Amino acid sequence: MSRTAIRRVEVLLLLLLVAALGGLHFSQVDSEEQRQIELQAGLEQLYALEQAHYARFGRYFDPGDSTAGLEWEWLGAYEWKIKIQESEFWIAARADRDGDGQQGVWFLDEANQLQVLIED
């Protein structure tokens, strides 16, 4: 086997090792952490879409409106309160994600102030 082929095999084995170790590390995320990451990432996406829509059309859109085309699966896991005005919006999401009978509340507005109002 040539030196170049050996180097390629070494690099491939190193990449596989890194991928396996990364998989082990990230597989240790529990379901509560996974739901928190999903909510935060979803709200950040929603914020980015709102800002892009505002930049293009000069107004925010209502993500609860079915004609907006948002059919993200994670949206259905929360109760939503949404207030949209021409130059501002706020969105509050509520859910009992851990099943303890206490609902958490998360809030986002046009200034990207994601806040946890009530811990779940």
Q: What is the pLDDT of residues 47-89, one digit of tens each?
A: 888 888 888 989 888 877 777 666 777 777 888 888 888 788 8
77 located within any domain: yes
Tell me which residue of 57, 63, 90 sits closest to 76, measured CA to CA.
63
22 located within any domain: no
pLDDT by residue (tens digit) across 6-22? 677 677 777 777 777 77
36 located within any domain: yes
81 located within any domain: yes
* pLDDT over 70 percentage in the chain: 88
Whether this prediction's pTM lies above 0.85 is answered by no
30 — pLDDT class (breaks 50, 70, 90): confident
63 located within any domain: yes
42 located within any domain: yes
Q: Which whole number is the average pLDDT over 98-110?
A: 87
Q: CA distances (Å), 88 to each of 79, 92, 101, in order? A: 20, 14, 32
- Structural domains in the chain (count): 1
By residue range, what is the domain housing residue 99? 31-118
pLDDT by residue (tens digit) across 51-61? 888 889 898 88
23 located within any domain: no
Give the C-alpha separation, 27 to 33, whole Å. 11
Which regions of 6-88 does DSSP assign to beta strands (E)?
79-84
